[in-house]
Amino acid sequence: GSHVPTFAPARHTHATMPPRTRSVSASKAQSENVFLFVPNLIGYGRVISAIVSFYYMPTDPWIASVLYIVSVGLDAIDGHAARYFGQSTRFGAVLDMVTDRCSTACLMVMLAVLYPEHCIWYQLLIMLDIFSHWMHMYASLITGSSSHKLIDLSQNPVLHIYYSNKLVLFLLCALNESFFAGMYLWHFSAGPVLTVAGHTHGAWAWMAYVSFVPMAIKQFINVVQLAAASINIARLDIEARAKK
């Protein structure tokens, strides 16, 4: 998503306040309505576009696809808006992450319906996505710098490359979505026929084939993220028990 909480360097961040936000006077800050900040309004637009897309998914793949792309496109805008208007907020960061997770999960639910023979795999991917990101965010909230023994999630070599390299982050997220989108469209239509290196397939099949490996890499990163966050939380438990 375009807003990433403080546990890792990211393209856009709501949780780290930019200079323009920090300069807001206390009296003005108290009178502000965070729910009406521009980037959060954009976030609501993402949610609405996604919901309408889900409504059309079973029957009209083209309307569903356009609305889903609109939601993804707004995801690329809200972070820029947060920085431009000095309206970075923790609420916006959480709204962005939850919208990302729910959108992907709902798309995979649709795929589980369209491809019942692969239902268990989509169910497992949904579980991994939610477990990984929720544990990662929770770990970032409760750990902070309270212990020198904790794993720094941003310094984990795999997570560091993923979160600090904007190109890697963008490509893996985009291709991950492309795999599921390709599988979705493939169910309804083969798409324009393309021949590459002597192999002929529909465009949607090619989309799924080309993005399968990046999608698998993204799932591996989810596993690493889940493991690192779990270790951090468990170490805090051990330290807390030792102080009793």
- Active-site residues, by number, are 100
Contact 93, 140 (CB under 8 A): no
Report the C-alpha gap between 221 and 170 in whole angstroms: 14
